[in-house]
Amino acid sequence: MYKKLLTLALAASFALPVLAQEASVKKAVESKLGVSVTSVSKSGYLGLYEVYFDGQIIYTDEKVSAIVAGNLIDTKTMTSVTEERMKKLNAIKFSDLPLNQAIKQVKGNGKRVLATFEDPNCGYCKRLAKDLSKLDNVTIYTFLYPILSEDSIKKSRQIWCAADKAKAWNDWMVDGKAPTGKDDCDTTAIINNQEFGQKLRITGTPTIFFADGDRVPGALPIAKIEQKLNSIK
């Protein structure tokens, strides 16, 4: 029992200076850049601190005498440390998504799950929609997220107001048949999507979320989507 208490005490004695230094770096970065820093932690490389804010990562020393922006590469593995950290920092709980505000499509047994935030006038979203139409045994939640133009908002409202939302979406995104129905139903879901997306710092479409919480900005090739879906247990 004594040894356990001693170990905990030693761990705490080392942790306090680290926390104090991280707090100091946070305060200095906020002062110099005029931003609100979300987190600060040791990067494990060159004595640099990882500073995360506004959906991005920068690196600095303990005195914030210099700032490094861009990818930090581990030369042993030749992988981007920054990209791996961004995946973790931008991950969400899939259960936190307001799925009732999305267009739901179930194919086959629907066991594999993903969600997308898309603008109906986004070219990359149309390419993604064509790819997703080829998937089987999947449940797809599509959040209408019009951020490109007023026409995007109108089309989103028309699609949401359609009797068959999924058909109206696919008719336009996959087959190029523009929605022609009314847009005067309750479209609060679209407004809520925009607000929710802003909280998640979704600035581009498409943005994909997988069941394990991983976020992927942009349209992934169908082979990588299949690989990711199959890797989630």
Q: Same domain for 33 and 121?
A: no
Among 50, 70, 90, the domain boundary falls at 90
* CATH code at position 148: 3.40.30.10
pLDDT of 13 reads 46
Cβ(142)–Cβ(118) under 8 Å?
yes
Residues 43 and 81 in one domain: yes
Structure-derived torsion over alpha carbons of residues 173, 174, 180, 182, reported in degrees to the nearest 10: -50
DSSP state of 215: E
Residue 219: how many other CB atoms lie within 10 Å: 24
Whole-angstrom distance, CA of residue 69 vs CA of residue 50? 10
Instruction: Give this prediction's pTM.
Output: 0.77
Please check whether residues 55 and 37 belong to one and the same domain.
yes
- In this predicted model, what pLDDT tens digit does every residue of 70-98 receive, in sequence order? 899 999 999 999 988 888 888 889 999 99
Give the domain-ending residue among 30, 56, 90: 90
User: 37, 63, 90: which is the final residue of a domain?
Assistant: 90
b/e string for 154-178 if b means 16 or more Cβ within 10 A?
A: ebbbbbbbbeebeebbbbbbeeeee
Residues of the chain with pLDDT under 70: 1-18
Residues 86 and 127 in one domain: no
Residues 108 and 172 in one domain: yes
